A and B are shown apart, each in its own frame.
Chain A
Amino acid sequence: QITLKESGPTLVKPTQTLTLTCTFSGFSLNTTEVGVGWVRQPPGKALEWLALIYWDDDKRYSPSLKSRLTITKDTSKNQVVLTMTNMDPVDTATYYCAHSRWFGEPGYFDYWGQGTLVTVSS
């Protein structure tokens, strides 16, 4: 059974760096073709893909946020960490991590965490 869960601060101040951790079970990021990604959703708005990391440490980022994002994995802890620098109130959103697979092309997200709401406010 695959599960994912996001953790991190619920409130950050403008200009601060956000660090979110995705802890997962039921799969390994050492397994070929496996990936974990991050998707966010501002209140009342649509989903936005942020980043994705694969078993082979290949990393992909949204071009509009690439300069602010870093995604890393710790396979021994079954965790993926996303950092986002220079947070702004427009970054207020629910942040989801999700499981994906690589089949010779980017994949869709078949398992999702419950999401964590991050509010950016002074």
Chain B
Amino acid sequence: AIQLTQSPSSLSASVGDRVTITCRASQGLSSALAWYQQKPGKAPKVLIYDASSLESGVPSRFSGSGSGTDFTLTISSLQPEDFATYYCQQFNSYPLTFGPGTKVDIK
């Protein structure tokens, strides 16, 4: 199974900050990676698919980049509603796997 690691596991940031989260895969994924946002008590919401494609309706301050084994989610200017946990997920092959998550909280 392809393992995903995320760094950092948590971070504290202020409104307006630029935030970068990294996801690393144990094998090459091409671009078969998605990013999700999850708020407490809620289902995950997809932000980015195919490593860099913005899901419809998602604010443009979210962007994704990378291919192969190294991927990045960037929030260009953190907003109050962005405080949440972020997960990456690979869909290059079965079993589908998720990263351990990165919690973004208020500084």
Which residues from chain A sit less than 8 Å from chain B, CB to CB?
37, 39, 46-49, 52, 60-64, 96, 98, 105-110, 112-115
Contacts and interface: CB of A to CB of B under 8 A. Distances in A.
Given A63-B1, A112-B44, A48 B98 contact: yes
A5 to B, nearest CB: 11
A25 to B, nearest CB: 16
A96 B34 CA distance: 17
B91 A105 contact: yes
Contact of B32 (A98, A105, A115): A105
Contacts of A48: 98
Contacts of A39: 44, 98
A115 B43 contact: yes
Contacts of A47: 36, 38, 44, 87, 89, 98, 101
Contacts of A62: 95
16 contacts: A46-B101, A47-B44, A49-B89, A49-B96, A63-B1, A96-B43, A105-B92, A106-B92, A106-B93, A108-B89, A108-B91, A109-B89, A110-B55, A112-B43, A114-B42, A114-B43
* Size class of the B contact interface (CB-based, 8 Å): 20 to 34
B70 to A, nearest CB: 18
Given A49-B95, A62-B95, A105-B91, A113 B34 contact: no
A46 B99 contact: yes
Given A46-B87, A47-B44, A108 B34 contact: yes
Interface in B75-107: 87, 89, 91-101
Interface in B52-91: 55, 87, 89, 91
A82 B22 CA distance: 33
B19 interface: no
